[in-house]
């Protein structure tokens, strides 16, 4: 009976550890910042001549085998540790993308890791300010955006109404290479 109790405790500890590890970001995100701290990034995005979009590979934990298969056969680039298909393509709905991603009301203060299996950017929106690359990595599962100005990373939660517009309309037309989940 004691062995059975120990085994159950160990299983519980392992399960809790897995859940915490699986919902954490793969890369360090830095400190939580106020939405206004992303103002310069959003201003640069709105002023950009052209936005490019990278499509993310399958989920690193939920679709691990599919992701590994895609990594083996596809040309990819890593942005802050996350794989994306090459080449990036011009955003098909530039004005709408600038309007939503450039609006501070789209975002909320980051509330921490979600229980979705880990931050997994479905898309990365890219532009340059001079020679400095800028990215906004967007995870539909977590409802998060990760801003990168070439150095500092700033995480934000995305308001649900805006997340659905991005997922179901604006970025849906950018789905080109990623296979559908195999359930």
Please check whether residue 42 lies inside any domain of the structure.
Answer: yes
Closest CA to 4 of 47, 12, 68: 12
- How high is the pLDDT of residue 30? 59
Q: What is the DSSP string of 149-165?
A: SSS-EEEEEE-HHHHHH
- How high is the pLDDT of residue 12? 46
- The whole domain housing 19 covers 2-174
- How high is the pLDDT of residue 122? 93
Please check whether residue 182 lies inside any domain of the structure.
Answer: no
Closest CA to 60 of 113, 167, 139: 139
How many folded domains does the chain comprise?
A: 1
pLDDT along the chain (183 residues), means of 10: 56 41 48 88 96 90 83 92 94 96 97 83 94 94 91 92 93 83 60
- How high is the pLDDT of residue 11? 45
Q: What are phi and psi of 154, to 5 degrees?
A: -125, 115
Is the pTM of the predicted complex or chain greater than 0.95? no
Residue 61 CA to its chain's centroid (Å): 14
User: Cis (ω within 30 of 0) for the bond into 46?
Assistant: no
């Amino acid at each position: 009976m004691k062995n059975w109790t120990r085994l159950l405790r160990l299983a519980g500890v392992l399960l809790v550890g897995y859940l915490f590890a699986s919902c954490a970001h793969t890369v360090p995100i830095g400190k939580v910042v106020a939405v206004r701290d992303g103002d310069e990034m959003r201003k640069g995005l709105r002023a950009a001549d052209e936005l490019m979009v990278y499509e993310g590979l399958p989920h690193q934990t939920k679709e691990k085998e599919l992701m590994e298969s895609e990594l083996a056969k596809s040309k990819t680039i890593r942005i802050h540790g996350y794989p994306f298909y090459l080449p990036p393509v011009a955003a098909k709905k530039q004005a709408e993308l600038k309007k939503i991603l450039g609006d501070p009301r789209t975002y909320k203060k980051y509330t921490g890791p979600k229980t979705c299996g880990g931050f997994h950017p479905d898309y990365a929106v890219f532009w340059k300010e001079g020679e400095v690359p800028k990215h906004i990595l967007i995870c539909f599962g977590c409802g998060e955006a990760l801003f990168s100005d070439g150095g500092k990373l700033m995480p934000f939660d995305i308001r649900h109404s805006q997340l659905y517009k991005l997922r179901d309309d604006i970025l849906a037309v950018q789905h080109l290479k990623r296979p559908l989940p195999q359930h």
